[in-house]
Amino acid sequence: MENNFAANAENVEAGAAVAEAALPQPKQKKPINQQKLQDNLWGWIFCIPLIVGTVWFVYICLVAALLLSFTDYTIYGAGDSMFEYLAQMGQHLAPDPETGAINAFGWYKYAFTHEVTIGTDLYINEMGAYLFNTVFYMIGIPIGMVLAMFFAVCMTRDIPGANVFRVLYYFPSVASTVSIVYTFKLMFSPSGVINQLFGLDGAEGGSPFTWLSLTGNNSLTWNGLTGSASQSAFMNAPYWCQGIFSKLVIIIMSVWKGLGGTVILYIAGLSGVNAATKEAAQIDGANGWQIFWKVTMPDLYPTIFYNIVTAVIGGMQIYMEPVLLLGENVITSGYVSLIYTYGVKGYAGESPTPSQGAAYGMILAVMIVILTLFQFWLDSKNKD
Protein backbone atom coordinates (compact mmCIF):
# COMPACT_ATOMS: atom_id res chain seq x y z
CA MET A 1 0.00 0.00 0.00
CA GLU A 2 2.69 2.38 1.01
CA ASN A 3 4.66 1.40 -2.06
CA ASN A 4 1.67 2.15 -4.30
CA PHE A 5 1.16 5.48 -2.56
CA ALA A 6 4.83 6.39 -3.07
CA ALA A 7 4.69 5.32 -6.71
CA ASN A 8 1.57 7.41 -7.29
CA ALA A 9 3.21 10.38 -5.60
CA GLU A 10 6.24 10.01 -7.84
CA ASN A 11 4.00 9.80 -10.91
CA VAL A 12 2.15 12.96 -9.87
CA GLU A 13 5.42 14.79 -9.33
CA ALA A 14 6.73 13.56 -12.69
CA GLY A 15 3.51 14.65 -14.43
CA ALA A 16 3.68 18.03 -12.75
CA ALA A 17 7.28 18.39 -13.88
CA VAL A 18 6.33 17.47 -17.46
CA ALA A 19 3.39 19.91 -17.43
CA GLU A 20 5.58 22.67 -16.04
CA ALA A 21 8.18 22.00 -18.71
CA ALA A 22 5.48 22.15 -21.41
CA LEU A 23 4.31 25.59 -20.29
CA PRO A 24 6.05 28.56 -21.95
CA GLN A 25 8.78 29.79 -19.72
CA PRO A 26 8.91 33.50 -18.92
CA LYS A 27 11.67 35.24 -20.77
CA GLN A 28 14.53 36.27 -18.64
CA LYS A 29 15.56 39.86 -19.04
CA LYS A 30 19.03 40.17 -20.43
CA PRO A 31 21.32 42.53 -18.62
CA ILE A 32 21.57 45.93 -20.33
CA ASN A 33 24.86 46.42 -22.09
CA GLN A 34 25.65 50.04 -21.32
CA GLN A 35 28.35 50.29 -23.97
CA LYS A 36 26.07 48.92 -26.69
CA LEU A 37 23.27 51.26 -25.59
CA GLN A 38 25.63 54.21 -25.75
CA ASP A 39 26.87 53.20 -29.21
CA ASN A 40 23.29 52.90 -30.50
CA LEU A 41 22.41 56.28 -29.01
CA TRP A 42 25.34 58.01 -30.72
CA GLY A 43 24.54 56.19 -33.95
CA TRP A 44 20.99 57.59 -33.94
CA ILE A 45 22.27 61.06 -33.06
CA PHE A 46 24.50 61.03 -36.15
CA CYS A 47 21.72 59.60 -38.34
CA ILE A 48 18.98 62.04 -37.30
CA PRO A 49 20.26 64.99 -39.43
CA LEU A 50 20.48 62.73 -42.49
CA ILE A 51 17.03 61.25 -41.86
CA VAL A 52 15.44 64.68 -41.33
CA GLY A 53 17.21 66.11 -44.38
CA THR A 54 16.18 63.18 -46.58
CA VAL A 55 12.54 63.29 -45.46
CA TRP A 56 12.25 67.07 -45.87
CA PHE A 57 14.39 67.76 -48.93
CA VAL A 58 13.60 64.54 -50.84
CA TYR A 59 10.30 62.91 -49.92
CA ILE A 60 8.26 65.95 -48.84
CA CYS A 61 9.68 68.06 -51.68
CA LEU A 62 8.96 65.25 -54.16
CA VAL A 63 5.32 65.12 -53.10
CA ALA A 64 5.09 68.92 -53.15
CA ALA A 65 6.61 69.07 -56.65
CA LEU A 66 4.17 66.43 -57.87
CA LEU A 67 1.19 68.39 -56.56
CA LEU A 68 2.66 71.66 -57.81
CA SER A 69 2.94 70.28 -61.35
CA PHE A 70 -0.87 70.26 -61.60
CA THR A 71 -1.21 73.97 -60.69
CA ASP A 72 -0.50 77.31 -62.41
CA TYR A 73 1.82 78.56 -59.64
CA THR A 74 4.33 81.23 -60.71
CA ILE A 75 6.91 83.16 -58.71
CA TYR A 76 5.36 86.48 -59.73
CA GLY A 77 1.76 85.41 -59.20
CA ALA A 78 -0.92 86.89 -57.00
CA GLY A 79 1.23 86.68 -53.89
CA ASP A 80 0.08 83.31 -52.57
CA SER A 81 2.83 81.05 -51.32
CA MET A 82 3.45 77.62 -52.73
CA PHE A 83 1.81 75.94 -49.73
CA GLU A 84 -1.27 78.17 -50.05
CA TYR A 85 -1.51 77.10 -53.68
CA LEU A 86 -1.25 73.46 -52.69
CA ALA A 87 -3.91 73.92 -50.02
CA GLN A 88 -6.28 75.33 -52.65
CA MET A 89 -4.91 73.56 -55.71
CA GLY A 90 -8.41 72.82 -56.95
CA GLN A 91 -8.78 76.55 -57.67
CA HIS A 92 -5.35 76.94 -59.26
CA LEU A 93 -5.07 74.13 -61.79
CA ALA A 94 -2.71 74.40 -64.75
CA PRO A 95 -3.95 75.93 -68.03
CA ASP A 96 -4.45 73.96 -71.20
CA PRO A 97 -1.65 74.95 -73.66
CA GLU A 98 -4.07 75.17 -76.59
CA THR A 99 -7.31 76.57 -75.18
CA GLY A 100 -6.16 78.17 -71.94
CA ALA A 101 -8.94 76.37 -70.08
CA ILE A 102 -8.29 74.69 -66.74
CA ASN A 103 -6.51 71.36 -67.23
CA ALA A 104 -4.66 69.68 -64.38
CA PHE A 105 -2.39 67.97 -66.92
CA GLY A 106 -1.83 71.15 -68.92
CA TRP A 107 1.91 71.37 -68.33
CA TYR A 108 2.36 67.70 -69.21
CA LYS A 109 0.38 68.22 -72.41
CA TYR A 110 2.56 71.24 -73.20
CA ALA A 111 5.74 69.18 -72.68
CA PHE A 112 4.65 66.53 -75.17
CA THR A 113 3.26 68.91 -77.81
CA HIS A 114 5.41 72.07 -77.75
CA GLU A 115 7.63 72.34 -80.86
CA VAL A 116 10.60 74.55 -81.64
CA THR A 117 12.18 75.53 -84.96
CA ILE A 118 15.78 74.60 -85.66
CA GLY A 119 17.25 76.14 -88.80
CA THR A 120 14.71 76.93 -91.48
CA ASP A 121 12.84 73.70 -92.11
CA LEU A 122 13.14 71.51 -88.99
CA TYR A 123 10.26 71.53 -86.50
CA ILE A 124 10.90 69.23 -83.58
CA ASN A 125 9.30 68.56 -80.20
CA GLU A 126 11.27 70.58 -77.66
CA MET A 127 11.29 67.93 -74.96
CA GLY A 128 12.24 65.29 -77.54
CA ALA A 129 15.21 67.38 -78.72
CA TYR A 130 16.58 67.87 -75.20
CA LEU A 131 15.93 64.23 -74.38
CA PHE A 132 17.79 63.16 -77.54
CA ASN A 133 20.77 65.23 -76.39
CA THR A 134 20.70 63.53 -73.01
CA VAL A 135 20.51 60.03 -74.49
CA PHE A 136 23.30 60.87 -76.95
CA TYR A 137 25.57 61.83 -74.04
CA MET A 138 24.95 58.40 -72.51
CA ILE A 139 27.05 56.92 -75.33
CA GLY A 140 29.93 57.82 -73.05
CA ILE A 141 28.77 55.32 -70.40
CA PRO A 142 29.86 52.09 -72.17
CA ILE A 143 32.99 53.87 -73.45
CA GLY A 144 33.90 54.91 -69.92
CA MET A 145 33.13 51.45 -68.53
CA VAL A 146 35.40 49.67 -71.01
CA LEU A 147 38.26 52.15 -70.54
CA ALA A 148 37.93 52.03 -66.77
CA MET A 149 37.99 48.24 -66.79
CA PHE A 150 41.10 48.22 -68.98
CA PHE A 151 42.99 50.67 -66.78
CA ALA A 152 41.86 48.94 -63.58
CA VAL A 153 43.17 45.58 -64.81
CA CYS A 154 46.46 47.20 -65.80
CA MET A 155 46.80 48.90 -62.41
CA THR A 156 46.24 45.67 -60.50
CA ARG A 157 49.24 44.09 -62.20
CA ASP A 158 52.50 43.95 -60.32
CA ILE A 159 54.15 46.80 -62.19
CA PRO A 160 56.27 49.63 -60.80
CA GLY A 161 54.45 52.93 -60.28
CA ALA A 162 50.93 51.45 -60.23
CA ASN A 163 49.92 53.55 -57.21
CA VAL A 164 51.18 56.70 -58.95
CA PHE A 165 48.98 55.98 -61.96
CA ARG A 166 45.98 55.44 -59.68
CA VAL A 167 46.45 58.92 -58.23
CA LEU A 168 46.99 60.52 -61.64
CA TYR A 169 43.86 58.96 -63.13
CA TYR A 170 41.80 60.00 -60.12
CA PHE A 171 42.80 63.69 -60.31
CA PRO A 172 40.05 64.68 -62.82
CA SER A 173 37.39 63.24 -60.49
CA VAL A 174 38.26 65.71 -57.74
CA ALA A 175 38.80 68.67 -60.05
CA SER A 176 36.14 71.34 -60.38
CA THR A 177 33.79 70.95 -63.34
CA VAL A 178 34.28 74.64 -64.12
CA SER A 179 38.05 74.24 -64.37
CA ILE A 180 37.67 71.18 -66.61
CA VAL A 181 35.25 73.01 -68.93
CA TYR A 182 37.64 75.98 -69.10
CA THR A 183 40.48 73.61 -70.03
CA PHE A 184 38.45 72.11 -72.86
CA LYS A 185 37.48 75.57 -74.08
CA LEU A 186 41.14 76.39 -74.37
CA MET A 187 41.85 73.12 -76.16
CA PHE A 188 39.18 73.83 -78.79
CA SER A 189 39.82 77.55 -79.13
CA PRO A 190 40.77 78.89 -82.64
CA SER A 191 44.46 78.58 -81.77
CA GLY A 192 43.98 75.62 -79.43
CA VAL A 193 45.81 72.33 -79.53
CA ILE A 194 43.00 70.50 -81.41
CA ASN A 195 42.96 72.89 -84.36
CA GLN A 196 46.76 72.92 -84.40
CA LEU A 197 46.92 69.13 -84.53
CA PHE A 198 44.69 69.12 -87.62
CA GLY A 199 46.46 72.05 -89.23
CA LEU A 200 43.43 74.31 -88.85
CA ASP A 201 44.94 76.97 -86.62
CA GLY A 202 42.95 80.13 -87.33
CA ALA A 203 41.13 78.61 -90.34
CA GLU A 204 37.77 80.08 -91.25
CA GLY A 205 34.59 78.06 -91.79
CA GLY A 206 33.87 74.74 -93.42
CA SER A 207 35.44 72.49 -90.81
CA PRO A 208 33.82 70.91 -87.78
CA PHE A 209 37.08 71.28 -85.89
CA THR A 210 37.20 74.97 -86.65
CA TRP A 211 33.59 75.32 -85.50
CA LEU A 212 34.65 73.72 -82.22
CA SER A 213 36.50 76.94 -81.47
CA LEU A 214 33.19 77.59 -79.66
CA THR A 215 32.78 81.04 -81.17
CA GLY A 216 28.99 80.79 -81.05
CA ASN A 217 28.46 79.90 -84.73
CA ASN A 218 25.03 78.25 -85.01
CA SER A 219 24.88 77.66 -88.76
CA LEU A 220 27.04 74.59 -89.39
CA THR A 221 25.04 72.03 -91.43
CA TRP A 222 25.79 68.85 -93.35
CA ASN A 223 25.09 70.78 -96.55
CA GLY A 224 27.69 73.39 -95.64
CA LEU A 225 30.19 70.76 -94.55
CA THR A 226 29.85 68.48 -97.58
CA GLY A 227 28.98 71.07 -100.23
CA SER A 228 25.64 69.38 -100.90
CA ALA A 229 22.54 71.27 -102.08
CA SER A 230 20.01 68.90 -100.52
CA GLN A 231 16.72 70.41 -99.37
CA SER A 232 16.10 67.87 -96.59
CA ALA A 233 15.65 69.11 -93.04
CA PHE A 234 18.37 66.73 -91.88
CA MET A 235 20.99 68.24 -94.20
CA ASN A 236 19.97 71.85 -93.55
CA ALA A 237 19.47 71.79 -89.76
CA PRO A 238 22.46 72.60 -87.55
CA TYR A 239 20.89 70.35 -84.90
CA TRP A 240 22.15 67.21 -86.66
CA CYS A 241 25.59 68.40 -87.80
CA GLN A 242 26.75 71.00 -85.33
CA GLY A 243 25.03 69.14 -82.52
CA ILE A 244 26.82 65.85 -83.16
CA PHE A 245 30.30 67.39 -83.16
CA SER A 246 29.49 69.51 -80.12
CA LYS A 247 28.11 66.58 -78.18
CA LEU A 248 31.16 64.46 -79.03
CA VAL A 249 33.34 67.02 -77.25
CA ILE A 250 31.10 66.86 -74.19
CA ILE A 251 31.22 63.04 -74.24
CA ILE A 252 35.01 63.09 -74.36
CA MET A 253 35.11 65.54 -71.47
CA SER A 254 32.61 63.57 -69.37
CA VAL A 255 34.41 60.25 -69.92
CA TRP A 256 37.76 61.79 -69.02
CA LYS A 257 36.34 63.43 -65.88
CA GLY A 258 34.54 60.33 -64.58
CA LEU A 259 37.17 57.76 -65.49
CA GLY A 260 39.14 57.96 -62.23
CA GLY A 261 36.22 57.24 -59.91
CA THR A 262 35.11 54.24 -61.96
CA VAL A 263 38.68 52.90 -62.11
CA ILE A 264 38.93 53.01 -58.31
CA LEU A 265 35.69 51.05 -57.94
CA TYR A 266 36.88 48.42 -60.42
CA ILE A 267 40.22 48.10 -58.62
CA ALA A 268 38.35 47.52 -55.36
CA GLY A 269 36.18 44.91 -57.10
CA LEU A 270 39.19 43.17 -58.63
CA SER A 271 40.82 42.90 -55.22
CA GLY A 272 37.84 40.81 -54.09
CA VAL A 273 38.08 38.25 -56.88
CA ASN A 274 38.62 34.74 -55.50
CA ALA A 275 42.34 34.02 -55.90
CA ALA A 276 41.87 30.30 -55.27
CA THR A 277 39.45 30.01 -58.19
CA LYS A 278 41.88 31.82 -60.49
CA GLU A 279 44.71 29.53 -59.39
CA ALA A 280 42.56 26.46 -59.98
CA ALA A 281 41.68 27.70 -63.48
CA GLN A 282 45.38 28.24 -64.25
CA ILE A 283 46.17 24.71 -63.10
CA ASP A 284 43.41 23.39 -65.38
CA GLY A 285 45.11 25.10 -68.32
CA ALA A 286 42.92 28.21 -68.77
CA ASN A 287 44.65 31.15 -70.43
CA GLY A 288 44.46 34.75 -69.23
CA TRP A 289 41.55 35.69 -71.46
CA GLN A 290 39.49 32.68 -70.31
CA ILE A 291 40.26 33.42 -66.65
CA PHE A 292 39.13 37.02 -67.13
CA TRP A 293 35.77 36.11 -68.69
CA LYS A 294 34.98 32.96 -66.69
CA VAL A 295 36.39 33.86 -63.25
CA THR A 296 37.05 37.58 -62.93
CA MET A 297 33.96 38.96 -64.65
CA PRO A 298 31.39 36.92 -62.63
CA ASP A 299 33.00 38.04 -59.37
CA LEU A 300 33.14 41.63 -60.65
CA TYR A 301 29.49 41.67 -61.74
CA PRO A 302 28.12 43.47 -58.61
CA THR A 303 30.60 46.31 -59.16
CA ILE A 304 29.74 46.52 -62.87
CA PHE A 305 26.02 46.57 -62.10
CA TYR A 306 26.45 49.34 -59.51
CA ASN A 307 28.52 51.44 -61.92
CA ILE A 308 25.99 51.07 -64.72
CA VAL A 309 22.97 51.96 -62.55
CA THR A 310 24.61 55.05 -61.03
CA ALA A 311 26.03 56.13 -64.41
CA VAL A 312 22.61 55.94 -66.09
CA ILE A 313 20.97 57.91 -63.27
CA GLY A 314 23.72 60.53 -63.39
CA GLY A 315 23.70 60.61 -67.20
CA MET A 316 19.97 61.35 -67.30
CA GLN A 317 20.62 64.39 -65.08
CA ILE A 318 23.53 65.90 -67.01
CA TYR A 319 23.37 69.70 -66.91
CA MET A 320 26.55 71.58 -66.03
CA GLU A 321 28.94 70.29 -68.69
CA PRO A 322 27.00 71.27 -71.85
CA VAL A 323 25.71 74.52 -70.35
CA LEU A 324 29.11 75.72 -69.16
CA LEU A 325 30.81 74.70 -72.41
CA LEU A 326 28.27 75.85 -74.98
CA GLY A 327 25.52 77.70 -73.13
CA GLU A 328 21.86 76.74 -72.88
CA ASN A 329 20.49 75.87 -76.30
CA VAL A 330 18.34 73.21 -77.91
CA ILE A 331 21.28 71.79 -79.88
CA THR A 332 23.48 70.65 -76.97
CA SER A 333 21.72 71.13 -73.62
CA GLY A 334 20.45 68.15 -71.63
CA TYR A 335 16.92 67.54 -70.40
CA VAL A 336 17.55 69.16 -67.00
CA SER A 337 17.99 72.49 -68.79
CA LEU A 338 14.25 72.46 -69.48
CA ILE A 339 13.54 72.25 -65.76
CA TYR A 340 15.82 75.21 -65.11
CA THR A 341 14.53 77.22 -68.07
CA TYR A 342 10.85 76.95 -67.21
CA GLY A 343 11.07 76.68 -63.44
CA VAL A 344 13.86 79.13 -62.57
CA LYS A 345 14.95 81.35 -65.45
CA GLY A 346 11.73 81.75 -67.40
CA TYR A 347 11.14 80.75 -71.02
CA ALA A 348 11.84 83.38 -73.71
CA GLY A 349 11.91 86.28 -71.25
CA GLU A 350 8.70 85.27 -69.47
CA SER A 351 8.40 84.97 -65.71
CA PRO A 352 9.52 81.64 -64.21
CA THR A 353 6.82 79.02 -63.73
CA PRO A 354 7.93 76.57 -61.00
CA SER A 355 4.82 74.47 -61.55
CA GLN A 356 5.79 73.89 -65.18
CA GLY A 357 9.38 73.12 -64.18
CA ALA A 358 7.99 70.65 -61.63
CA ALA A 359 6.05 68.90 -64.40
CA TYR A 360 9.22 68.49 -66.45
CA GLY A 361 10.96 67.23 -63.30
CA MET A 362 8.26 64.62 -62.70
CA ILE A 363 8.61 63.37 -66.26
CA LEU A 364 12.35 63.00 -65.73
CA ALA A 365 11.80 61.20 -62.41
CA VAL A 366 9.44 58.70 -64.05
CA MET A 367 11.94 58.01 -66.85
CA ILE A 368 14.76 57.44 -64.35
CA VAL A 369 12.61 55.11 -62.24
CA ILE A 370 11.60 53.10 -65.31
CA LEU A 371 15.21 52.78 -66.50
CA THR A 372 16.39 51.76 -63.03
CA LEU A 373 13.65 49.17 -62.60
CA PHE A 374 14.43 47.82 -66.06
CA GLN A 375 18.09 47.40 -65.09
CA PHE A 376 17.14 45.58 -61.90
CA TRP A 377 14.78 43.36 -63.92
CA LEU A 378 17.63 42.48 -66.27
CA ASP A 379 19.81 41.80 -63.23
CA SER A 380 17.22 39.40 -61.79
CA LYS A 381 16.90 37.61 -65.16
CA ASN A 382 20.67 37.27 -65.34
CA LYS A 383 20.78 35.71 -61.86
CA ASP A 384 18.03 33.24 -62.79
**pLDDT, tens digit (0-9, with 9 covering 90-100), for 313-351:** 999 999 999 998 888 888 889 999 999 999 888 887 788
Among 88-102, 269-283, 295-309, whose mean pLDDT is lowest?
A: 88-102
Angle at CA of residue 362, ends 73 and 306, nearest 5°: 150
Q: For the residues 156-173, what does the mean pLDDT come to?
A: 80
The three-state secondary structure class of 155 is helix
Please give the single-letter amino acid code of residue 288.
G
pLDDT of amino acid 90: 65
Q: For the residues 59-66, what does the mean pLDDT come to?
A: 89
Please give the single-letter amino acid code of residue 105.
F
Residues whose CB falls within 8 Å of the CB of residue 254, separated by 6 or more in sequence, listed in order: 137, 140, 144, 318, 321
Q: For the residues 82-105, what does the mean pLDDT come to?
A: 76
Using one digit for the tens of pLDDT, what is the confidence trace for 51-62? 999 998 889 889
pLDDT of amino acid 116: 86
Among 16-25, 30-39, 161-170, 181-190, whose mean pLDDT is lowest?
A: 16-25
Cα–Cα distance, 136 to 118 (Å, whole number): 18
Using alpha carbons, list the distances in angstroms from residue 163 to 33, 159, 168, 170. 44, 9, 9, 11
Instruction: Please tell me which residue, 1 or 96, carries the higher pLDDT value.
Output: 96
pLDDT of amino acid 77: 56
pLDDT band at 208 (very low <50, low <70, confident <90, very high): very low
The model carries a pTM of 0.80
Using one digit for the tens of pLDDT, what is the confidence trace for 101-124? 888 889 999 999 998 887 666 788
Give one DSSP letter per residue of 229-259, joined into a string.
Answer: ----HHHH-HHHHHHHHHHHHHHHHHHHHHH
Q: Which CATH superfamily is domain 114-334 in?
A: MetI-like (1.10.3720.10)
Q: Is the pLDDT of residue 213 over 50?
A: no
Q: Is 157 left (phi over 0), alpha (psi -120 to 50) or beta?
A: beta
Helix axis angle, 297-316 to 354-383, nearest 10° = 170
Q: Is the pLDDT of residue 132 over 90?
A: yes
